[in-house]
A = this chain, B = another copy of it.
């Protein structure tokens, strides 16, 4: 309420625009930033399409310089306007911002090096910035919460899948062998994952009748296994709405379903435990 337009230093104003989203200018900055990031991502993509790159090379080059200069200005502004620049520079987003800015400058030094393709892709990392700016965080926290709450179950599930992959990969390697495309155990394990997850590229598939029989079992297994993560996430999401009960038996009236931590019976009002 006390943010009146007094003659503050321009650094404070800059800080407000860049780091806060409450003022109209702050919001405008966020929107422009998101659009710039999306534009930069699309540029990286288009550049990777050879036919497009050949045709519009100059347009892509100029656009990238514009984006790079914009990011550079933003990076410098962020350092200037913050009180502890070091903290920002070495933070997760600080490193990403730097890595997303430098590729084009490096391309001046290492002309024509192919390694720059990978470097350019670094700009895609800024996509996480969008994530930070997202206003839908409420819903995503719910999703993340459901995943976090069931992380042990998910770990057990992944361990079982890994175990199955090792066993099935080895079995199929022994049954089918290199002559049918199962050239090694790791490659057979790759096949097992492709099959268990019902992706089924078809780059390797069993050729012997016995191999096809085992593969059929693997598929039905995978079909059933898919139910487990679904069950975990669904029950976690549904649980949010419901509430846990213990199975304490009320000595007085026999009711046996009470909310966790309940001290008194909800049916007759008598005390539940005496410890």
Using a CB–CB cutoff of 8 Å, the interface residues on chain A facing chain B are 41, 44-46, 48-50, 117-118, 121, 124, 127, 131, 134, 136, 138-140, 142-143, 146, 152-161, 163, 166-167, 170, 173-174, 178, 183-187, 189-190, 193-203, 205, 209, 212-213, 215-216, 219-220, 222-224, 226-246, 253-273, 275
A174 x B264 contact (CB < 8 A): no
Q: State how many copies of this chain the complex holds.
A: 4
Interchain nearest-CB distance for A165 vs B (Å): 8
Q: A260, B257: Cβ atoms under 8 Å?
A: yes
Least Cβ distance of A148 to chain B in Å?
14
> Residue A262 contacts which of B140, B194, B238, B266 (CB distance < 8 angstroms)?
B266
A48–B228 CB distance below 8 A: no
Return chain B residues, CB-CB under 8 Å to A174. 117-118, 121
Residues of B within 8 A of A254 (CB): 273, 275
Across the interface, do B259 and A261 meet the contact criterion of CB distance under 8 Å?
Answer: yes
Task: Please determine whether A227 and B224 come into contact, CB atoms closer than 8 angstroms.
Answer: no
Cross-chain contact of A230 among B134, B155, B187, B233 (Cβ < 8 A): B233
Given contacts A49-B184, A243-B245, 16 further A-B contacts (CB under 8 A): A44-B170, A48-B185, A49-B187, A121-B174, A136-B156, A142-B153, A143-B156, A190-B213, A193-B216, A230-B234, A232-B237, A238-B239, A243-B243, A261-B261, A261-B263, A265-B266
Residue pair B231, A233 in contact (C-beta under 8 Å): yes
- B residues less than 8 Å from A197 (CB atoms): 198, 219-220, 222-223
Contact: B194 with A158, CB < 8 Å?
A: no
Give CA–CA (A273, B267) in the complex, Å. 11
Complex CA gap A89/B39 in Å reads: 40
Set of chain B residues within 8 Å of A241, measured between Cβ atoms: 235-236, 238-239, 242, 244
Are A224 and B229 in contact, with the CB atoms below 8 A? yes
- Cα A173 to Cα B140 with chains together (Å): 28
* Given known contacts A124-B170, A152-B139, A187-B212, A264 and B263 CB-to-CB distance under 8 angstroms: no
Knowing A197-B222, A226-B226, A241-B239, the reply to whether A170 touches B234 (Cβ < 8 A) is: no
Q: Which of B193, B224, B231, B262 contacts A237 (CB 8 A)?
A: B231
Q: Which residue of B lies closest to A265 (CB)?
A: B264
Flag if A223 contacts B229 (CB, 8 Å). Answer: yes
Q: Which residues of chain B are near A50, meaning CB under 8 Å? A: 178, 183-184
